[in-house]
């Protein structure tokens, strides 16, 4: 398995051969992050992608088009148009074309603050990842349900705009976002050393993914109310709400990290992602 940080460092193609700037508050670039690719149960393949916004004080909106494009086949293959500060791991997936060869390449280009950054998407064997199970400790991603405790389950970093859950909302009125989660309370890390002062078994992060206006979350990282866990070590419910500044079509994104932390502690396992498509009137 290849460390995601290594994929990012080894996969950047910088426009004009410029070296990427270090992080700063404002005015820096955004680079897509190719976490790797994996096989699906039916034999098809999927790319797993995130990004690095080097502006630790600036979230940026980059519309789909010349400044935010995946080629060929795009420019819109479901990538975000709203980029939160910092490293955001495995935010979305893109199906690999059926006839895609090891020598083929797609590219994702983001132009932000006048700086163009491009990364390649490939299916080389060194980039294979296992986001649904850590072989060493049998860790698996959290299982989540949205809006209803009996809703269909979501597990793993599988979020796409095409499969986003539809909802409607009104400008200025809160949209409640209840979420139920269960987890095996295992964790992946480079050395699997015992955790000191372990965090909650599941931690949520809500963000805007696409949309014309500002989205304000009551609690971007809501805490869980623990519920009877049954056969699993952890079961809980967490609720936040989102308000929208103007009408239009939005996509919200949620990441559920387990004890492994962001990016699976470098193991590219085990977190879960989902999207909600909101029509705001």
Mean pLDDT, each 10-residue run in order, the chain (281 residues): 39 46 79 97 96 94 98 96 97 97 97 96 96 91 97 97 97 98 87 70 97 98 91 94 98 97 90 98 97
Enter the DSSP assignment of 59. -
Encoding tokens for residue 1? Answer: 């398995």
pLDDT of residue 9: 37
pLDDT of residue 5: 37
For residue 29, is it within any domain?
yes
pLDDT of residue 224: 97
Where does a domain end: 83, 102, 127?
Answer: 127
pLDDT of residue 266: 82
For residue 138, is it within any domain?
no
118 and 200 assigned to the same domain: no
Q: Regarding beta strands 86-95 and 45-53, do their DSSP bridges make them parallel or antiparallel, or are they unpaired? A: antiparallel
pLDDT of residue 19: 52
How is the chain split among helix, strand and coil, in percent rounded to 5?
10, 45, 50
Would you call 156 helix, strand, or coil by DSSP? Answer: coil
Number of structural domains, the chain? 2
CA atoms 83, 89, 94, 96: torsion sign: positive
Question: Rounded CA gap, 47 and 179, in Å?
Answer: 26
For residue 134, is it within any domain?
no
Where does a domain end: 77, 92, 127?
Answer: 127
Q: Are 277 and 161 a contacting pair, CB within 8 Å?
A: yes
Encoding tokens for residue 205? Answer: 């992060």
Q: Which domain holds residue 183?
A: 143-280
pLDDT of residue 231: 78
3-state secondary structure 150-217: CCCCEECECCCHHHCEEEEECCCCCEEEEEEEEECCCCCCCCCCCCCCCCCCCEEEEEEEECCCCEEE
For residue 55, is it within any domain?
yes
Q: Is the pTM of this model over 0.85?
A: yes
pLDDT of residue 16: 41
102 and 163 assigned to the same domain: no
pLDDT of residue 198: 75
CATH (domain of 188): 2.60.40.10
pLDDT of residue 136: 84
269 and 162 assigned to the same domain: yes
């Amino acid at each position: 398995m290849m460390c995601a940080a290594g994929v990012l460092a080894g996969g950047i193609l910088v426009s004009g051969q410029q070296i990427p700037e270090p992080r700063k508050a404002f005015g820096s670039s955004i680079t897509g992050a190719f976490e790797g690719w994996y096989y699906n149960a039916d034999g098809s393949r999927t790319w797993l992608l995130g990004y690095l916004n080097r502006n630790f004080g600036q979230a940026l909106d980059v519309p789909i088009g010349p400044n935010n494009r995946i080629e060929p086949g795009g420019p819109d293959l479901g990538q975000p148009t709203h980029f939160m500060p910092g490293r955001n791991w495995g935010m979305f997936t893109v199906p690999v074309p059926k006839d895609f060869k090891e020598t083929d390449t797609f590219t994702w280009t983001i132009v932000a603050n006048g700086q163009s950054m491009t990364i390649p998407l490939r299916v080389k064997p060194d980039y294979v990842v296992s986001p649904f199970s850590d072989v060493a400790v049998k860790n698996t991603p959290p299982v989540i349900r949205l809006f209803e405790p009996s809703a269909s389950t979501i597990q793993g970093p599988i979020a796409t705009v095409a499969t986003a859950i539809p909802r409607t909302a009104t400008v200025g009125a809160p949209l409640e976002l209840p979420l139920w989660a269960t987890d095996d309370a295992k964790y992946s890390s480079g050395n699997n050393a015992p955790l000191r002062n372990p965090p909650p078994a599941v931690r949520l992060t809500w963000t805007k993914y696409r949309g014309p206006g500002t989205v304000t979350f009551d609690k971007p990282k809501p805490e869980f109310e623990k519920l009877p866990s049954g056969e699993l070590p952890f079961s809980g419910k967490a609720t936040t709400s989102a308000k929208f500044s103007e009408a239009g079509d939005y996509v919200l994104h949620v990441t559920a990290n387990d004890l492994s932390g962001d990016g699976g502690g470098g193991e590219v396992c085990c977190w879960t992602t989902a999207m909600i498509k909101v029509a705001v009137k």
